[in-house]
């Protein structure tokens, strides 16, 4: 009997307060620390489906909710970094970027007692020296590239590689010691399978894209946020798109995704299983 296809479910563990949509809004709420309270149920849901995930954790969230992140790690999930404060790295000088990377990795390792190998940049925004700085601050891999079409006002258009590779194959002069795990996009359409796009297009869109990628031999890399599973407070100035299909709808969508015939594994294990991805000089694979 053939083994099931593999997929990586990644969770960007940040609160509603960390999102740029809240930080730049004109209104506020007394307690925007919404999202961390969903972590316990997320862990239970993953357990029920025997699924393992990678959690890209904001250091501030781990500092404020250490018991929850310790529980995530104790259940066998991978802990990775999503910076210390969730500031866009492109808005910071080199010293501050270095601190965001180093401090978050060290604090997460101290909390969980486990090595932190992976990193994802907030909003997938990276500076020109991103990969060099990851190597300097002790990381092994990155998952900050989205090989999607350019989306005005968002991101996209910079990358085309959909398969795990090394940083030097997608950016000239980048260190070959850093692996790169791109986020999944729909072949042909080239829009992300998860994040806002799951909520916009529906769970059938995401599952169809997962299966299409699997037929190409690509393990889909999905991402969600804990705050998407919460009943979000209404805040003046936060775009309406942020509220689309959050809360109960997302819980139903997650169940449907986990009920597919995929084996859900960590991001790191996807990279490690792609042995060519860690061999310097491997050519990048651009899929349409």
Residue ranges per structural domain of the chain: 6-278
**pLDDT digit string, tens, across residues 174-222:** 999 999 999 999 999 999 999 999 999 999 999 999 999 999 999 999 9
Q: Which residues, listed in sequence order, are joined to residue 9 by a DSSP beta bridge? A: 222
Q: Where are the alpha helices (DSSP H) in the chain?
A: 20-23, 39-48, 59-64, 66-74, 94-112, 130-136, 196-201, 203-215, 248-258, 267-273
Mean pLDDT, residues 67-77: 98
Pairing of strands 78-81, 54-57: parallel
At the second CATH level, the architecture of 6-278 is Alpha-Beta Barrel (3.20)
Pairwise CA distance, residues 104 & 114, whole Å: 13
**Tens of pLDDT along 78-107?**
999 999 999 999 999 999 999 999 999 999
Question: Is the whole model's pTM more than 0.85, yes or no?
Answer: yes
More confident: 87 or 276: 87
């Amino acid at each position: 009997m053939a083994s099931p296809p593999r997929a990586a479910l990644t969770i960007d563990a940040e609160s509603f307060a960390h999102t740029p949509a809240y930080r730049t809004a004109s209104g506020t709420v007394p307690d925007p620390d919404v999202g961390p309270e969903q972590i316990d149920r997320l862990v239970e849901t993953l357990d029920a489906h025997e699924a393992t995930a990678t959690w890209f954790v904001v250091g501030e969230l781990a500092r404020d909710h250490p018991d929850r992140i310790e529980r995530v790690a104790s259940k066998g999930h991978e802990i990775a970094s999503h910076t210390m404060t969730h500031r866009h790295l492109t808005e910071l000088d080199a010293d501050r970027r270095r601190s965001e990377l180093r401090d978050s990795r060290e604090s997460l390792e101290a909390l969980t007692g486990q090595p932190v190998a992976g990193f994802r940049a907030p909003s997938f925004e990276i500076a020109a020296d991103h990969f060099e700085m990851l190597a300097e601050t002790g990381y092994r891999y990155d998952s900050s590239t989205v090989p999607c079409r350019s989306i005005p006002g968002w991101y996209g258009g910079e990358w085309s590689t959909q398969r795990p590779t090394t940083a030097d194959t997608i950016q000239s002069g980048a260190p070959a010691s850093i692996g790169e795990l791109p986020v999944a996009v729909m072949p042909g359409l080239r829009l992300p399978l998860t994040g806002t796009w799951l909520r916009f297009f529906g769970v059938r869109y995401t599952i169809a894209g997962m299966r299409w990628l699997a037929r190409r031999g690509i393990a889909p890399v999905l991402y969600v946020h804990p705050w998407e599973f919460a009943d979000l407070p209404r805040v003046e100035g936060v775009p309406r798109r942020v509220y689309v299909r959050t809360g109960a709808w997302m819980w139903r969508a997650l169940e449907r995704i986990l009920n597919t015939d995929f084996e859900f594994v960590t991001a790191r294990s996807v990279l490690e299983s792609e042995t060519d991805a860690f061999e310097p000089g491997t050519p990048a694979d651009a899929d349409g």
